[in-house]
Amino acid sequence: MKYALGPLLYYWPKEKTEQFYSAACESSADIIYLGETVCTKRRELKVANWIDLAKQLSKTGKQIVISTLALLEAPSELNELRQYVENGDFVIEANDLAAVNLAYENNLPFVAGPALNCYNAYTLKLLHKQGMIRWCMPVELSRDWLNNVVNQLDTLGLKQRFEIEVFGYGYLPLAYSARCFTARSENRPKDQCGLCCINYPQGREVFSQEQQKVFVLNGIQTQSGYCYNLGNNLVEMKALVDIVRISPTSLETLNIIDQFRQNEEGKQPLDIESNRDCNGYWNGIAGLALQS
Amino acid sequence: MELLCPAGSLPALKTAIDNGADAVYIGLKDDTNARHFAGLNFTDKKLDEASTYVHQHGKKLHIAINTFAHPDKFNRWQHAVDMAAQIGADALILADLAMLDYAAEKYPHIERHVSVQASATNLEAIKFYQRNFDVHRVVLPRVLSMHQVKQLSRVTPVPLEVFAFGSLCIMAEGRCYLSSYLTGESPNTVGACSPAKFVRWQQTEKGLESRLNNVLIDCHKQGENAGYPTLCKGRYFVNNTLYHPIEEPTSLNTIELLPELFAANIASVKIEGRQRSPAYVAQVTQVWRQAIDRYLANPNQFNAEKKWMETLGSVSEGTQTTLGAYHRKWQ
């Protein structure tokens, strides 16, 4: 099994981000995704900074992928996307079909990110033809669903023609909106957000009126309230999954990669109960559920 | 500009046509469309009747097959496309790339509309759909501001359709898993958001509680308007403040934007609400028909009439309306 460090979903100061990625170099991750996937107003690192960072990190021998925005609306956002594609040195993770279109036009291989709607093998066949080399499954899909897709890929003669990645740890990106919920939580309109996301390095928690942690607000993105953790499902992933994605929330996340590695045979189970993590999606039930 | 109205049943469809819809959109009675609710939608026989009624009146029938095909039940989605083609649909509203591909290959003569569930929000995404499936129309998600709609309309190679009125989806449609996070079922996988079978109401000392799969969505004090517990419209705590952190229960109403939508050359305005009653369809269709005709008769003098706004307000969620994302300040 290979492990990928997913793109940082939160807005951190430049220095902290750079520190995080120097530590990531020392981690046991095989693949590092980096880049802004949530909001273009987050400019602590600009396009050129991300590309420089990618160049630096690629010297470690790890595979570097530049992740791109999930919700593209303004022409300026498309221009930034174009810069990543035209740079051409790095595979990109497409989280919108705009990125697929540009990658195809530029003959650049791409990863189909979890925000692309790929629910069956026919869709994957189409994307594969456009240059997809890896598919990260939508977070709401289960082991059984994946199994069915793999069977379908087999009948299409496409099995093992591209890699399969599963989001295995972190707060799940569940939705994208025009509205910025972090700005709203500070009673600011989006156009005067004051880049307030930077004050919430792990997003803002949303609780039900019974104090159940239901969601995390991260700018225009809504995340799961509980941390997704498939650390105890690695044995059943063996025949299905090539890469497990670990989505960073802090420096400590880097240790999770080692914990996953140590439990690949199921011999050193992770404690998923104390923090009330969740793993429902993989088990084909409500995402927030926890099955031990 | 086409007025495109919803119908979840044959009576609603007839009502839409009788009240001035240029086209009606419907879905089959299964999970191949994003309004897969009990007691709603069309079986084989009703489909034929729907098609006959619409076409006898010289109007158009759009069929939504806009969920994502399950890998182990792929034939059902193909069959839905086949059935829509057989009964003479004028347009197929599709979200899954696999279904767009299938329809383009097998029924090139039937218009393919990119469903709102496909989440095409920018020029490059539209170009992707055009290049691969030669699509005839793109339905824009309710995330763009009016300024962005105008910008896009100046450069798009494919005509645009926008949501004009109805329940407001706050997220980029087709990219929201909040419902499956709480219930295991989402619009993409089963064709329903916050499905009714997970809803529980309970009167307690604190008030009327609404739950979705046992998660408390809201608690309404006496006298408060208790709406359907769509999970994004619940009241939750952020930093000890109780409010609607995502969205209030409210409906989209863009009637004031009609002149701008005309100026942006929008091909069609869509009314949301296949799950609503024929009475809703009648009222909303009438108002929008009048508004479009009024505009066409005298574009420079267009004003949203007070009584239109009252009628639309009265059939809205939470009896309030908003311009939604079209109005930048809302974002």
User: Which pLDDT value is given to residue B142?
Assistant: 86
Q: Nearest-CA residue of chain B relative to A192?
A: B329
Distance CA B331, CA A184 (A): 8
Question: pLDDT tens-digit profile of B70-98?
Answer: 999 999 999 999 999 999 999 999 999 99
Nearest to B121 among A73, A104, A115 (CB): A73
Q: Using an 8 Å CB-CB cutoff, list chain A residues near B238.
A: 185, 204-207, 217
Q: What is the mean pLDDT of residues B46-73?
A: 97
DSSP B132: H
pTM above 0.90, yes or no: yes
Report the b/e string of B119-151 with b at 16+ CB within 10 A. Answer: bbbbbbbbbbbbebbebbbbbbbbbbbbebbbb
Residues of A in contact with B144 (CB under 8 A): 73, 178
Torsion of CA B93, B97, B99, B100, to 10 degrees: 60
pLDDT band at B319 (very low <50, low <70, confident <90, very high): low
Rounded to 5°, angle at Cα A117 from A170 and B168: 90
Out of B98, B182, B242, closest to residue A288 by CB? B182
Chain A: closest CA distance from residue B328 (Å): 8
pLDDT score, position B251: 86
Query: Nearest residue of A to residue B183 by CA position?
Result: A286
Tokens of B189: 């996988």
The distance of B82 to chain A (nearest Cα, Å) reads 17
Q: Distance between CA atoms of B317 and B313, rounded to whole angstroms?
A: 8
ipTM of the shown complex:
0.97
Residue in B98, B232, B247 nearest the CB of A123: B98
Task: State percent of chain B over pLDDT 90.
Answer: 84
A 146-185 residues with CB < 8 A to B: 148-149, 151-152, 172, 174-181, 184-185
CB contacts of B233 in chain A (<8 Å) are none
B70 vs A contacts (CB less than 8 Å): 119-120, 145, 148
The verdict on A239 touching B (C-beta cutoff 8 Å) is: no
CA B201 – CA B194 distance, rounded (Å): 14
Q: Report the distance separating Cα B199 and Cα B214, nearest Å.
A: 8
- Which residues from A are below 8 Å from B235, CB to CB? 209
pLDDT digits (tens, 9 = 90+) for A233-249: 999 999 999 999 999 99
SS3 string, chain A, reads CEEEECCCCCCCCHHHHHHHHHHHHHCCCCEEEECCCCCCCCCCCCHHHHHHHHHHHHCCCCEEEEECCCCCCCHHHHHHHHHHHHHCCCEEEECCHHHHHHHHHCCCCEEECCCCCCCCHHHHHHHHHHCEEEEECCCCCCHHHHHHHHHHHHHCCCCCCCEEEEEEEEEEEEEEECCCHHHHHCCCCHHHCCCHHHHCCCCEEEECCCCCEEEEEECCEEEEEEEEECCCCHHHHCCCCCEEEECCCCCCHHHHHHHHHHCCCCCCCCCCCCCCCECCHHHCCCCCCCCC
Maximal C-alpha separation, chain A = 53
Judge whether A45 is closer than 8 Å to chain B, CB to CB: no
Q: Which residues from A are below 8 Å from B232, CB to CB?
A: 175
Residue in this structure with the two tokens 């240029």, named with its chain if needed: B22
Contact B234/A77, CB-based, under 8 Å?
A: no
Q: Give me B99's structure tokens.
A: 């279904």
Size of interface A-B (CB pairs under 8 A): 218
Successive 10-residue mean pLDDT values, chain A, 292 residues: 98 98 97 97 97 97 98 96 94 98 98 98 98 98 98 96 98 96 94 96 98 98 98 97 98 97 97 96 98 92
User: Would the annotation count B219 as a binding residue?
Assistant: no
How does strand B137-139 pair with strand B160-167? Answer: parallel
Q: Given CB atoms, is A188 within the 8 Å cutoff of chain B?
A: no
Instruction: Mutate one of A84, A108, A118, A123 to test the B interface: name it (highest B CB count within 10 A).
Output: A123
What is the Cα–Cα distance from B168 to B120, expressed in whole angstroms?
A: 17
Q: Is A119 in contact with B234 (Cβ distance < 8 A)?
A: no
